[in-house]
Chains A and B, each alone.
Chain A
Amino acid sequence: MLVLIGQRILNSLLILLVSTFVVYTLVALAGDPLGELRDRQPPVPESVIRAEEIRLGLDQPVAVRYATWLAGAVGGDFGPSVRENQNIGRELAPRVWVTLRLVTTAIVIAAVLALAAGTVAALRRNRPTDHLLSTTAFILIALPSFWLAVLLKQLGIAINKASGTRVFFTVGDVSVPAPEGWLPLMADMAAHLILPTIVLTMIHFASWSRYQRTAVVESLASDHVRFAVLRGLSRARIIGAHVVRPALIPIVTVIALDLPALFSGAIITETVFQWRGMGGFLLESIANRDANAVMAWLLVAAVAVVFFNLLADLLYLAIDPRVRYGRG
């Protein structure tokens, strides 16, 4: 058991290592961080560009740069930014917390909703409840997240205006200035979370609920459910232990696979709601062609994804004895 977990962790680290190298190379080859400097009018002196190249380490081969970057990144130093006075690590750290707050809340709510909606739709397959849930899911899947985000934001503003009070927070992840005290701060953050979480949750819960529906429909048709019915078990017991429990295995995979998409969705949602999260940081860095900053962002996202995948693996161990004890 512990060996298995250890193996998974080792595997994850390996994936991280290779993935960062590939992405680093890609990012390094794709763009010239000094492009903007070079294009500047009037032209910047060659010596300045040269000095900037040395500061950013552009004169070195990619492999060396990666090694330096990796060594730094492990210690929390993500290398020099294009913007001279910016420390990437210090800038990014608080934003990671902001984004993780959004993403984690959305995952939990979306997963619970998807489980419930998918299971209900499957149990009432081809009946009005199912048709309603399935059609809703189809429409939600087709909704562009940014469109929904803008719509909800403007709706929030309209409601605020109409009621004359602030019902919804539509800008930022926390009030400025932030409220004093632990409890009011939490409450304030939670209030800011409402609209963005709805956006992120709606988009993902829809597609997950479709997978859950399929899984439960298949589970319902399996022999062991028939056998459970023939053994005279109660409806609740059959649904809980024999239908839904085995159907949890596929949904865990689907959610784990969808995490990068969730991060993509978070970028958009944060942008619309003007959060100071990872999304804004990424967009700024891209606009500045700040390779190290983008790399730092991708590293954080990759670590998060790998971490959640590890969590999914552990969940398998809990749910599926066949994984725990091996087959045959």
Chain B
Amino acid sequence: MAAADPKPGGAAGRPTSRLALALARFRANPMAMIGLVVLVLLVALAALGPLLWHYGHAEITPDLSQRPSLAHPLGTDTLGRDMLAMAIRGLQQSMLIAIAVAFIAGVLGTLLGIVSGYFGGLTDAALMRFVDLVLTIPTIALAAFLGNALSNSGVSWLGLSLVLGGLFWTSVARLVRGVSLSLREMPFIRAAQVMGAGPARIMFRHMLPNVADHIIVATALLVGVAILSETGLSFLGFGVRPPDTSLGILISNAQTAVLTRPWLFYAPGVLIILIVLSINYVGEGLRDAFNPRVLASSPLAPGPAQRRAGATAARPPAAGAEADTGAEAPLVGLAGFEVAFPGSARRAVDGVALTIARGEVLALVGESGSGKSLTALAIAGLLPGGARAGGEVRFDGRDVGGLGFAAWRDLRGRRITTILQDPSTSLNPVLTIGAQFHESFAVAGPVSPAESRRRATELLELMAIREAAARLDQYPHQMSGGIRQRIVIALAMIHRPDLIIADEPTTALDVTVQAQVLDSLRLARERTGAAMLFITHDLALVAGVADRVAVMREGRVVEEQPVADLFARPRHPYTRRLLSLAPRLDRSPAPAAPPAPPAPAAAGAPLLLVENLSCHFRRPRRAVRRGADRTIHALCGVDLALTAGETFGIVGESGSGKTTLLNTVLGLYAPTTGRVVFDGRDLSLPAARRDAARQMSVVFQDPYSSLDPRMTVWELLAEPGRIEGMATAEIRARAARVLDRVRLPAAALGRFPHEFSGGQRQRIAIARALMLDPRLVVLDEPVSALDVSIQQDILDLLAELKRDLGVAYLLVAHDLAVVAGLSDRIGVMYGGQMVEVGPARQVIADPRHPYTRRLLDAVPVPDPAVERARRTGPRAPMWPTPEDPLPPCPVHAHAHAEGARP
């Protein structure tokens, strides 16, 4: 059945490859195309000119100092040489040298850049110092000297190219190195490392194709730079030498003739400008074609909401808009609101009608792409560029659809405030917190710095931020995400707004921090009496927050009900499905989990044994205060044993060390102390690690970055087998088998990852992990990058594979529900230590450690009554506290692991 045609390109009519897409984008760029045509013409002139034109460049004709004429289209010089012939020769020389320089510099820069980026650390530091060094030298000076010294009778074009290439590689090297360094951290490179791929394979099979487009662009632009340098050198007399000629020499000769015989001066100059200009336009065109930057448009530009689509202007006012003029007019009213993007058939928001009463909390729930954020942004007048809005948006009875920037300023910040998703980016990194408070206070009129400081301190204290006054003098990067988000909330409270829009305010935060931020948000709302529009993808979160809930899907509101009714009696099947997927940890623990396989623990030695594993990193010296401890105890004496066929789930928040543990098990980090034993062999031995690579595989969090975008599914699946030296026929058979297992069609083999949805990509990643029939699959947050409705499919698939294939899983997740659903045993990590280990059922239902209790308490319960009761009652106590701290980590005398941070 499958494997009939595993080669890429087998399927016809499928979406085109990245290269074809890039070429299409390039063709659509008029300046780049004009540049390309000019460039091709110039190259043709340089290559074919001498064959077609009857004068030679050194040939002396009887026509002295002739103006341009039919016989001499570019005139002649004082000796009677034909300018066109000389210009063609100059063009040849310049292009030849420039292309050679770009080639030499490109190859040299690529090699050094990739090596530097792949190895990082000392190699990188040394190579980059070398680059710094070359960069301190003015190229023309050294090139002139070397060019002059290399040969007495003028320089050959090759010599000149070598010298210039030897000086110009730095720009390519820096670029390639930068991209390689970031690639190195990409999950798809890590996946290749776990498969046992060697440096050469990773550098040339994975890194090179992924930097290729950058190299092409940089090299193309280098041709222009090289032409300018070469002609400059020749102009000074140190490049190409007479009797041969170059565009630089021609200009040099014509220096005094600008006014008397301008043709001699302008012709070569214009040629240089034309070449460089066309190269630069082609280069820029290539750059935009390879990496189309979809930048959000300026929020300062006149927004699309102001430019109403003509058709919607004629739309009669929505029914009820006139009737609502009574005292109880809603604060916010949307009627027939829609947003469309050009080039997209489906409207992103399709006829939404919503109201928010004063003081009410409306939750807008939906998955990515449901249009919930667009709807919210429209109320604050900030739709992305290119979007066309229609319908009606009213705030406090006023149509805000056509407001300009100045009019919006009366609302924004004072009556409507917004809290964005990611607190690490919503504050200005180069201003102190105090300055950002001050400017927000000043929105309503001048305030003295002392006054704004006093009030800001009050607000921060209200948000339970300790040492509030000191925080005002700090910068955002000096605080944690939770504190930053609470500062954002404090900023939103300043002018006692009528409406707070919270756009996924806790999505970027850990679950215990999420609970604190939700408390702060609740406090902010109570203090200001504001209405709130709470946007989230997490239905469970809504139970404790909202008065009313609207569920959005594909641009439409599919259901809207008071919160209690929605959870008790969901009407729309989509809502019912979302509710069924929301985990209930408070009820019977993990009822969905299949009965654990008969514990094979007794059968013998564990498959994976982690003994007293510690991993310490040293902070870079400049990142800490002097004298402070630079050691980070990323892992601290962790033990765990995993028997064949068992699933061990590790749960922890960011910084808990769970990822370090996993990376150490995978061999991506070397442990400081302790050991990892797989199948009875210590993995610190290279041979054992190599053998283990065959039986151990990994599925990473983000299916968008864990698959090499330049490889087809066939190449991706084949890679583990190739590294193990398996025969192609065998690989083909296995690929067909695993694809069938993860329920993807065999036709998928010829396609690229970008042609699949997130869930399908994760299936591909799982298929790859199964290629060599592993005994252990390491799952690093396997569903956290996926939409809720897809998460369950993947978890079901994983459970099924475990049942059918008997593989063991080492599962890491921040989400207790994910871990609870799949694991036989659970380990809870905090601060690099395993604080609690136990059977899944026990850890969830009867947690022993205070931290586990706190973690469980922070998970929202998708039941309004239960959740509200929990929230008004006491929270689980904090842990660690000064009285009951995290046990200190013993630092071993031989702790070394200097250098790289995780």
Q: Which A residues have a C-beta under 8 Å from some C-beta of B? A: 3-4, 7, 15-16, 18-19, 22-23, 26-27, 30-31, 35, 39, 123, 125, 138-139, 141-147, 150-151, 154, 157-158, 217-218, 220-235, 237-239, 241-243, 245-246, 257, 260-261, 263-264, 267-268, 271-272, 282-283, 286-287, 289, 294, 297-298, 301-302, 305-306, 309, 319-322, 325-328
Contacts and interface: CB of A to CB of B under 8 A. Distances in A.
Contact of B280 (A7, A18, A141, A282): A141
A274 to B, nearest CB: 11
Given A144-B228, A246-B430, A301 B251 contact: no
Contacts of A3: 626
B478 A320 contact: no
B24 to A, nearest CB: 21
A150 B264 CA distance: 13
B148 A260 contact: no
B426 interface: yes
B668 interface: no
Nearest to A234: B409
B302 to A, nearest CB: 11
Given A220-B299, A230-B380, A230-B413, A241 B431 contact: yes
A320 B429 CA distance: 8
Contacts of A22: 133
A223 B420 contact: yes
Interface stretch (B46-54, B230-238, B608-616): B230-238
Given A228-B428, A286-B148, A15 B413 contact: no
A235 B254 CA distance: 52
7 contacts: A30-B145, A154-B255, A227-B426, A229-B412, A232-B413, A298-B137, A327-B477
B296 interface: yes
B158 interface: no
Contacts of B810: none
Nearest to A203: B228
B146 A26 contact: yes
Contacts of B236: 146, 267-268, 271, 283
Contact of A260 (B135, B252, B408): B135
Given A125-B298, A146-B232, A226-B420, A139 B277 contact: yes
A223 B413 contact: no
Contact of B439 (A16, A222, A237): A237
A39 B153 CA distance: 13
Interface stretch (B265-273, B549-557, B765-773, B848-856): B265-273
A287 B149 CA distance: 9
Given A283-B236, A320-B430, A230 B140 contact: no
A228 B421 CA distance: 14
Interface string B132-170: 110111111110111011101000000000000000000
A321 B477 contact: yes
Contacts of B425: 222-224
Contact of B429 (A125, A257, A322): A322
Nearest to A266: B138
A228 B438 CA distance: 12
A225 B428 CA distance: 8
Given A18-B133, A260-B136, A229 B382 contact: yes
Given A232-B412, A327-B623, A283 B144 contact: yes
Contacts of B251: 144, 146-147, 150
Interface string B242-270: 00000010011011001100000100010
Contact of B300 (A35, A229, A301): A229
Given A4-B622, A154-B259, A229-B300, A268 B140 contact: yes
B430 A31 contact: no
B141 A297 contact: yes
A144 B272 contact: yes
A326 B273 contact: no
Contacts of B258: 150-151, 154
Interface string B270-299: 001111110011000000000000011111
B482 interface: no
Given A228-B428, A246-B430, A260 B414 contact: no
B145 to A, nearest CB: 5
The 6 closest A-B pairs by CB, nearest first: A232-B413, A31-B149, A154-B258, A142-B276, A264-B140, A223-B425
B605 interface: no
B417 interface: yes
Nearest to A23: B137
Contacts of B150: 30-31
Given A143-B273, A229-B412, A224 B427 contact: yes
B624 interface: yes
Contacts of A326: 620, 622-624
Contact of B136 (A26, A267, A306, A320): A306
A231 B623 contact: no
Contacts of B274: 142
Contacts of B619: 328
A31 B145 contact: yes
A146 to B, nearest CB: 5
Contacts of A151: 258, 265, 269
Nearest to A218: B295
Contacts of A230: 380, 382, 412-413, 416-418, 420
A301 B141 contact: yes
B422 interface: yes
Interface string B114-142: 00000000000000010011011111111
Contact of A246 (B276, B428, B439): B428
Which of B235, B420, B425 has most chain A Cβ within 10 Å? Answer: B235
A261 B139 CA distance: 7
A220 B300 contact: yes
A135 B301 CA distance: 22
B43 interface: no
A302 B435 CA distance: 40
A233 B299 contact: no
B443 A231 contact: yes
A245 B430 CA distance: 8
Interface string B359-396: 00000000000000000000010100000000000000
Contacts of B620: 326
Contacts of B427: 224, 227
Given A23-B137, A31-B149, A224 B418 contact: no
Contacts of B273: 139, 142-144, 147
A8 to B, nearest CB: 11
Contacts of B420: 223, 226-227, 230
B446 to A, nearest CB: 12
A199 to B, nearest CB: 12
A224 B533 CA distance: 20
B429 A325 contact: no
Contacts of A309: 136
Contacts of B265: 150-151
Given A144-B232, A231-B412, A263-B141, A321 B277 contact: no
A31 B144 CA distance: 12
B258 to A, nearest CB: 4
A18 B133 CA distance: 8
Given A227-B420, A229-B382, A35 B132 contact: no
B145 A241 contact: no
A142 B280 contact: yes
B141 A238 contact: no
B129 to A, nearest CB: 7
Nearest to B278: A142
